[in-house]
Structure 1
Amino acid sequence: MTRIAVVSAGLSQPSSTRLLADRLAAATERALADGGREVTLDVIELRDHAHDLANNLVTGFAPPRLRETIERVTAAEGIIAVTPIFNASYSGLFKTFFDVLEADSLIGTPVLIGATGGTARHSLALEHAVRPMFTYLRAVVVPTSVYAASEDWASGQSDGLNARIARAAGEFADTLGVGRPSRPVDPYADPVPFTQLLGDTAR
């Protein structure tokens, strides 16, 4: 069973961002099914964690509900991440979520990126903003990113969008089959008890 976290940073409800995330998830599910693999989709709406994310930035600690969500994302075998584009870049909510993750938590994780916006002029934001962020986090971003402008949802105009979704989902499914490398070992994960340290000093 392949578990995929679907992260949507849409602000409205319903939102085109969530719609694109769902379309990418469904296409990935079909692509994996063609290879005889089952998938579990874990959909996460970041708008539900907006206040907790702000508190996390200020205090440095994630409230329990946000911590659980972070663990679900970082433990997934792959991530579909979709953001609305504002002022030619990702939304603040989207960036804040990935800012609060541990630095090494996405190493080697396959990621399919998507974005929505009112005009096709913002489509390059995926390449100059979203992709570099995940590359910095050392995730494995699939070659095809998917941008959907308002006109892409119009009747008779969706063929191009459908083709991009299918191609990106196929690449993502292929990447998921490679497997995720082991994460670096945390040297502080199993600390020596303080009493033992005192005992060593006494000797």
Structure 2
Amino acid sequence: MFTPVTADFFHAPTLELSRNLLGQILVHELPEGVVAGRIVETEAYMGAEDRAAHSFGNRRTKRTEIMFGKPGLIYTYQMHTHTLINVVSGPEDTPRAILIRAVEPVEGIELMAELRGKHMPMKNWTSGPGKLTKAMAITMDHYGRHFSEKPLYIAQGDPVHAVSVGPRVGIGNSLEAVHYPYRFWETENPFVSKFR
């Protein structure tokens, strides 16, 4: 049905990979069935020199340790009650990562409806980084695995041709990093996150 991309897919410069991830399919094989969403929005964090990155100044903590690993590793972290999911990118020991901000549901629609609440309109299920992990039952348990390996993986999709680029969202106290054009999204896709 879906086949994971090979590990070398992730061996691209971080900003290029952020763009390449658009249109690929995030897949989670659950005991109850498969849920999958087409990636429509990403956000790059450029490591040591990026004030908005958890690894700014090469900060190594229990949480950020995985960012120093090989590209394609899964970096999950908790923010309030949400789990957020990132793709580790860049060469080893260069702690960069790409946040998956939004996906468009393509498989397991009924299961996603149950996970998010059937009363909710579909375009609100996965239109944000904390929403999509709930809709796809992604938890902290995936930390440190690799996106080329089941059960949680990225599969080959179709490239996105209309891509918009702009500043990242919700990083207000990051000085100059607030303005970096490190967010990529499929232009006019209704599942892209709403930001104020």
Q: TM-score, normalised by structure 2?
A: 0.25
Q: TM-score, normalised by structure 1?
A: 0.25
Instruction: Identify the structure with bigger relative contact order (alpha carbons < 8 Å, sequence gap 6+).
Output: 2
Structure in which a larger fraction of residues adopt helix: 1
